[in-house]
């Protein structure tokens, strides 16, 4: 009788494989909703803002240059940064579009 009960103790039940991966799945879902999805949304908003730049908009570039858009092409914009001083930037260099009249207030 002692031998049969000792033999039964060796046959332990194996854990469910799904339950061992469940914490990893939960972690991935959590990272997706807290990190990946908001970052993708910000990138989409930035891309839309850069595509909708029009002549007359006041913008700030990633380098900190403030100016008014005087010419727009597919890849480049020309900013007027002073009286008669214009510089050419890539569209992707635009960080922010400012409300109209911001440059006059400075």
Which residues, 6 or more positions from 94, have their beta carbon under 8 angstroms from its beta carbon?
Answer: 49, 50, 53, 59, 60, 61, 62, 77
Give the range of the structural domain holding residue 45, as residue numbers without chain letter.
15-52
Whole-model pTM? 0.71
The total domain count for the chain is 2
Kindly give the confidence (pLDDT) of every residue in the chain, 106 residues in length, as a single tens digit, with 9 standing for 90 and above: 555 555 555 556 777 888 889 999 999 999 999 999 999 999 999 999 999 999 999 999 999 999 999 999 999 999 999 999 999 999 999 999 999 989 888 7
Q: What is the pLDDT of residue 77?
A: 96
How many angstroms separate the CA atoms of 106 and 99, rounded? Answer: 13
Q: Is residue 1 part of a domain?
A: no
| 65 and 92 belong to one structural domain | yes
């Amino acid at each position: 009788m002692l031998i049969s009960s000792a033999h039964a103790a060796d046959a332990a039940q194996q854990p469910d494989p799904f339950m061992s991966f469940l914490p990893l799945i939960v972690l991935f879902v959590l990272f997706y909703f807290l990190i990946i999805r908001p970052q993708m949304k910000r990138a989409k908003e930035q891309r839309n803002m850069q595509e909708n730049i029009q002549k007359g908009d006041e913008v700030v570039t990633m380098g900190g240059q403030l100016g008014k858009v005087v010419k727009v092409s597919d890849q480049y914009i020309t900013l007027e940064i002073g009286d008669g001083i214009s510089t050419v930037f890539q569209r992707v260099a635009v960080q922010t579009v400012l409300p109209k009249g911001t440059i006059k207030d400075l």
